[in-house]
Chains A and B, each alone.
Chain A
Amino acid sequence: MTDSSQTALVKDEAALVTEAKAGSYPAFEELVNRYEKKIYRLGLNITGSPEDAEDVLQETFLKAFQHLPDFREDSRFYTWLVRIGVNEGLMKLRRRRADKTVPIEDQVDEEGGVMPREFTDWKPNPEQLLAQTEMKSILDAAAQSLPPTFRTVFFLRDVEGLSTTETADLLDLTESAVKARLFRARLQLRENLSKIFKRG
């Protein structure tokens, strides 16, 4: 296949957004194809439930289609989509906790105060020691032990690759609050996984 034919196949995202905004369902479907895996993973990571993640996935793309005319294209389409997905995911958590007193927003001492306790190095290549399902369940359990906004900040920054500014804007937090939560989340996950993967 020549470079030009590959370029023709990989249609420019801005062009797809323009076509979708003009009412082209095939263009919208192409955008769905590009981001469905990421949005499902986002829903799974925020809610920790495959059923809720499927709802988040469907609601995100339905709302995206509905509000596409309002998308001003001053941010990446993916960031706009993630904003909808995060709101849907956090709404799921709020509904789930509606009859409990657990707050969705976590209080955090932004000055830090968290210090690591595990200093033993890990066994090499832990991902090769366990079956994929076992590894997934270990990572899920560690992630779900974090407060929701810590978890969400971690996944947006470290897994989805959003910037501190984009994450702050999306979650309505200050950039220093994003950094504090990311630091806590990374350390806490490391502590949890160290108990499982450490040598000896």
Chain B
Amino acid sequence: MTVIGCKEVMQELSNFLDGDIDESLKTDLRSHLTRCQHCQVVIDTTRKTIELYCDGELFPLPTPVRDRLHEVLRRKCQSKS
């Protein structure tokens, strides 16, 4: 196992979150996280950031917008089909 520092963890942060790193690096990174509260917080809160944006309830399609879409499509597309 190789001891890695905070800089290496930050460089691999995205790949780690995406599960896109090899097993030995993942082990080194996890070992660092058990010792480094700062990096653990950055990883956890980055993951939480992504979760918040994935909440579909926050970006609903308003009914009037949907109605206007279907009205436009029916008018412009249905006649051509």
Number of interface residues of B (CB under 8 A): 41
Inter-chain contact A23/B81, CB cutoff 8 Å:
yes
Inter-chain contact B49/A193, CB cutoff 8 Å:
yes
Inter-chain contact A158/B68, CB cutoff 8 Å:
no
B contact face: mostly helix, strand, loop, or mixed: helix
A contact face: mostly helix, strand, loop, or mixed: helix
CA distance A23 to B80 in the complex (A): 8
B56 within 8 A of A: yes
Number of interface residues of A (CB under 8 A): 48
> In the complex, which residue of chain A has the Cβ closest to the Cβ of B72?
A58
Inter-chain contact B58/A139, CB cutoff 8 Å:
yes
B46-69 CB contacts (< 8 Å) to partner A: 46, 48-50, 52-62, 65-66, 68-69
| A-B contacts, 17 listed (Cβ < 8 Å) | A28-B77, A36-B66, A40-B59, A57-B65, A62-B77, A112-B10, A119-B38, A120-B41, A122-B48, A132-B58, A139-B58, A159-B54, A183-B14, A189-B49, A189-B53, A193-B45, A193-B52
